[in-house]
Structure 1
Amino acid sequence: MTRGWCNTSWFSYLVLATAGAMFPLALAPLFWWPLGLLSGAILYWQLTSCSTARQAFVRTWWYGLGQFGAGVSWVYVSMHDHGGTPAWLAIPMVAVFAAFLATFPAAWMAARQRWFGQTLAWLTFPVFWFLHEWFRSWFMTGFPWLFVGDAHLATWLAGWAPLLGSYGLSFIVLLTVTSLSQGWRQRQPAYLLFLLLWPMGAWLQGVEWTQRSGELQVSAVQGNVPQELKWKREQIEPTIATYFGESRQLWQSDVILWPETAMTLLYDRFRPYMDALAEEAQQHNTTIITGIPYRHPPGTELAGQYHNSVVAIGNGQGMYHKQRLVPFGEYVPLENLIRGWIPFFDLEMSSFLAGDAYQPPLLVRQQNGDEESLFLLAPFICYEIAYPGLVRRNASNADLLITVSNDAWFGDSLGPKQHLALAQMRALETQRYVLRATNTGITALINSDGEIVERLPFEQVATLTASAEMRQGMTPYMIWGLWPLYLLSAIILLVARRQQRTQALTAVPSN
């Protein structure tokens, strides 16, 4: 028998695209996570009727088109509202971007069909989805966004994040979907034993893998400089006045954090302002950390090259250059060919150089009478906080994570809300506090359980002040990384391959 509407291609594709578009509702800001289960179930059900790799590719691509088309629709705001791209061009550009991203899960699901067919599909489907998310997190600088596990910041599965990271949560979610489906199809309740992973996660939420090592009074300044004014020459002095004025009311704090490129002057031109403020901050035992563009000085090997950076001044020290650059925002792929086509390809400061892979953390001093404590802060600029592997590595020697961003590019869209949730997931994976400063929002302090302690209202000049725990120690995820998932995946694929060969051998006599 055939499967009715499954054989009506366009209707099937429409259902898949709709299921994909449903998926972002499971993420921030709504966190309707059951829709994520339903969305994954529809894709899995459709893939179980595939007989060729091409069918698996096409069906998954339509699902991905809906998933990314809805999930990254906020890119339109940066293109149209701030990048000068007309709507008639920005909309198809977003569609092309979504269509390109959809090829990643499509290719991996096609490979699954090609190599394993429907053999142990209920196990190979979660494996290949995990591998697709892992691949997408680094290929062509990576786009670690819209992961299945990111929907489960506040469910029982959150307890698995310090052990397996968000990738592990994705694996468990999809294993939940496939084991339920398999149990129903086979009428075998034994498959439901995998649901025990959920209450196990609830129990794991009570485990503290890291230890408190101190406390800092931290503040963050949200300058709320409109994006259309931010890089104008006449806005330089008002911006400096805003950040200096707000910070001078926060000298009781040990750390004051400003957003990404809070200062639009180059580092060398900002030095006269910075030195005066650093001396004042040091008198109050305060460290100020700001985002600022850095230019290598004349006479050096990289003279004239730019970095998107953060620098600590006052009672702290250190500088960090951003490693993971945003395509078209901070560098232009095939620059010589496409610059000048449209204004979006010629945005301010879109020729940055990537920083080194291994850079020391920022150092902050805390003065308590005659006693001085030293703490290390791991900085992340913009969407670097979305990279699980990068954060895991740099958090190892840090007491606190800080992230600075300028989400004004995306207005009050899904983008800034998803970005905040990714910072929460990184806090949960590393059991570290995260202090986040943005230009227009969402500025927040996140605790080691991934919960928001304090946050500022959107698009307002405001300051946040709270106590942040310093944490030391390593979560299992920080120690092992993805090796447990690699090992589990290898075992599943080996078992599937062996069963596939056994089935092929038993089929020969019957033929």
Structure 2
Amino acid sequence: MKKNIFLSILSGLLLWIAWPPTPHFTFLLFVGFVPVLVAMENIIQSESVKKGKKLFWTTFLGFFIWNTLCIYWVYNALKSVGAAAALPVAIIPYALAPLLMSTACWLYYRLRRITRRNVALLGLTCFWVAYEYLNQNWDLNFPWMTLGNGFAVSHKWVQWYEYTGVYGGTIWIWIVNIFAFLVYNGLHKPRARSMRLKQILALGLIILLPIALSLYRYRSYHEQLNPSNIVVAQPNIDPYMKEGAIPPAQQIDVLTHLSDSLGKPNTEFFIWPETAIADQQGLNEDRVRSSPYFQQIQHFLNKYKNGNVLTGSEDIKIYNSRKTSTAAPLDPQGNEYYDVFNAAANFENSAEVQFYHKSKLVPGVESMPFGNALSFLKPVFEHLGGTTGGYGRQDEPSVFYSQSGIGAAPVICYETLWGEWIGQSVHKGAQFIAIITNDGWWENTSGKDQHLDYAKLRAIETRRWVCRSANTGISAFINQRGDVVQQTKWWTRTAIKQDINLSSDKTFYVLHGDYLARAGSLLAVIGVFWIAFSKINVYRKKIRKTAA
């Protein structure tokens, strides 16, 4: 038992060392699951009782260590409200994902009881993909630890994400680990030396061939010349002082000054970070042209004929005497319903303003998971900066179009993790990706670095430049191959500019999205039904035997 616990802990540590932003150790992803697979095999082959329970909690230990060490910074964003209040929300990413991971391993054990090991291992891969897809799409979504994200610091290895997305990386990692486990397991059995050499050679090809193809694609890929001048501003305003302590007009003054320092007559987009317009009353979208902030921005844009300001804002939309949104609360004084949005806005050098409402909301902080079922946590969520009813959201991604016809995909903070969602914006006509975020909540931890690294994968999936504006994080320009061309320093007030290449081509992934995840989830569901029907058949046989 102690040996299996050690093996599980070893897997957790290997996967942690391999995870971004740690450079040079990505290769450990290819063996990180081997110790836990060995531990699972030991439990299955043992004579002990309650094997499923032992397997579940043994694997949970390693997965909990891996997740907690990688995303320890989540607690930094919550600790300001006190340990007692922060703990319930911190448990979501720390423990929930490991529980789902262990469930996938438990399903593998159940499948192993009714079929051959190789078939069950294939099922394990599908169960894992299904867990990741669930964790991306349900109310408690937190796809930060999706396995395919692990190649973010070694993006040259996965240029084929333009065909598969991150789920291709997840499947690759599991195939290699399973094959390495089978090779290791075979070392203890009498077998011809030539057979072992063939297995080792096959394992090497499974690892090296995708890397070689990716490196060839990386070196042979050339962007089509279609330049557009972009300026990204990083105001470095303490997130805890954005609302109330520093007037919004003063914050906009900082942003316009930074933008002016690098702006040129042909600059087409000035990108400002998430909640750059942070009025406690909210920017009323229906009356935006009468807002003093609109006037400030228009005055700034007078110098730039084709200029646009793409910025984050906290918006409000009022509905007259009828509730049109599931999140919209009732204003008792005005007898009106309203929505509050974490939004992006595009201000043209005209009266035109376009809005996008963040859709992928942070559970607990920006949305109430499962509605009334978790209503007892509403006081905690209020302390964390969220709303008891949750922020409003929109159902489809948007594209902001400039007067000259350039399409930009607005992506707000957490949405960086959704490749398919961003791909839909590209499918609609976005020619580059504008990520606006505020990473200061996590302080100077690896969280801000991971968030930047993941953006490189979005560039590869869509073959679009990423222009990233972070209030207190790291702002950057990332080219279509996933290279960080420019980036700012942490906690620095500055601006950067770049001539990016716009693109209108659509990758296979943009056209088809997370098809691998959907296929894997379908196979996982079939596997679950297979397990259930087998259990029912065993139960029926017992009844018949008893009756006889």
Question: TM bucket by the smaller chain?
Answer: 0.7 to 0.9
| Aligned partners of 1:222 and 1:440 also within 8 Å | yes
Aligned to 1:28: 20
184-193 vs 487-496, which deviates more? 487-496
TM-score relative to the length of structure 2: 0.79
1:39 to 29, 32, 49: 32
Structure 1 residue 195: deviation in Å? 3.9
Distance 1:485 1:322, change over 3 A: closer
Within a 5 Å distance, the mapping from 1:226-265 to structure 2 comes to: 226-252=238-264, 253-265=267-279
Give the Cα–Cα distance (whole angstroms) in 2 for the partners of residues 231 and 395 of structure 1.
33
186-195 vs 134-143, which deviates more? 186-195
Aligned to 1:391: 422
2:309 to 269, 272, 288: 288
Look up the SS of the partner of 1:39 in the other structure. coil
| Aligned partners of 2:431 and 2:464 also within 8 Å | yes
Look up the SS of the partner of 1:229 in the other structure. coil
Residue 325 (str. 1) matches residue 325 (str. 2): no
Structure 2, unaligned stretches of length 5 or more? 45-50, 325-336, 535-548
Look up the SS of the partner of 1:471 in the other structure. coil
- Cα deviation, 1:71-96, whole Å, max 9, x if unaligned, reads 2211111111xx3214x764686356
Give the Cα–Cα distance (whole angstroms) in 2 for the partners of residues 383 and 96 of structure 1.
15
The one-letter amino acid of 1:389's match is: E
Look up the SS of the partner of 1:193 in the other structure. helix
Distance 1:495 1:236, change over 3 A: closer
Distance 1:97 1:276, change over 3 A: closer
Aligned to 1:482: 514
Structure 1 residue 256: deviation in Å? 0.6
Within a 5 Å distance, the mapping from 1:5-154 to structure 2 comes to: 7-8=1-2, 12-31=4-23, 32-51=25-44, 52-80=51-79, 83-86=80-83, 90=86, 94=90, 97-117=93-113, 119-120=117-118, 121-153=120-152, 154=154
| Aligned partners of 2:64 and 2:98 also within 8 Å | yes
Give the Cα–Cα distance (whole angstroms) in 2 for the partners of residues 106 and 185 of structure 1.
22
| Aligned partners of 1:224 and 1:460 also within 8 Å | yes
Look up the SS of the partner of 1:49 in the other structure. helix
Within a 5 Å distance, the mapping from 1:163-174 to structure 2 comes to: 163-174=163-174
Structure 1 residue 174: deviation in Å? 1.8
Structure 1 residue 399: deviation in Å? 0.5
The one-letter amino acid of 2:515's match is: W
Give the Cα–Cα distance (whole angstroms) in 1 for the partners of residues 468 and 28 of structure 2.
29
1:278 to 292, 298, 305: 298
41-50 vs 196-205, which deviates more? 196-205
The one-letter amino acid of 1:306's match is: V
Aligned to 1:473: 505
28-37 vs 223-232, which deviates more? 28-37
Distance 1:171 1:298, change over 3 A: closer
Give the Cα–Cα distance (whole angstroms) in 1 for the partners of residues 69 and 475 of structure 2.
24
- Cα deviation, 1:338-365, whole Å, max 9, x if unaligned, reads 333x5x6424453543322224310123
- The alignment-based identity, stated in percent, is 20
Aligned to 1:193: 202
- Cα deviation, 1:183-241, whole Å, max 9, x if unaligned, reads 34335445443543432343244447896372211111111111221212544343122
Residue 421 (str. 1) matches residue 453 (str. 2): yes
Give the Cα–Cα distance (whole angstroms) in 2 for the partners of residues 492 and 93 of structure 1.
29
- Cα deviation, 1:369-414, whole Å, max 9, x if unaligned, reads xxxx411111111111111221222222211111111111101112
The one-letter amino acid of 2:110's match is: R
Residue 158 (str. 1) matches residue 158 (str. 2): yes
Give the Cα–Cα distance (whole angstroms) in 2 for the partners of residues 216 and 299 of structure 1.
42
Give the Cα–Cα distance (whole angstroms) in 2 for the partners of residues 177 and 211 of structure 1.
35
Give the Cα–Cα distance (whole angstroms) in 2 for the partners of residues 299 and 77 of structure 1.
40
Give the Cα–Cα distance (whole angstroms) in 1 for the partners of residues 383 and 527 of structure 2.
52
118-127 vs 246-255, which deviates more? 118-127
Give the Cα–Cα distance (whole angstroms) in 1 for the partners of residues 88 and 353 of structure 2.
45
Give the Cα–Cα distance (whole angstroms) in 2 for the partners of residues 339 and 136 of structure 1.
22
Residue 441 (str. 1) matches residue 433 (str. 2): no
Give the Cα–Cα distance (whole angstroms) in 1 for the partners of residues 517 and 87 of structure 2.
38
Give the Cα–Cα distance (whole angstroms) in 1 for the partners of residues 99 and 87 of structure 2.
19
Structure 1 residue 122: deviation in Å? 4.3
The one-letter amino acid of 1:447's match is: N
Q: How many residues align?
A: 480
Distance 1:123 1:450, change over 3 A: same
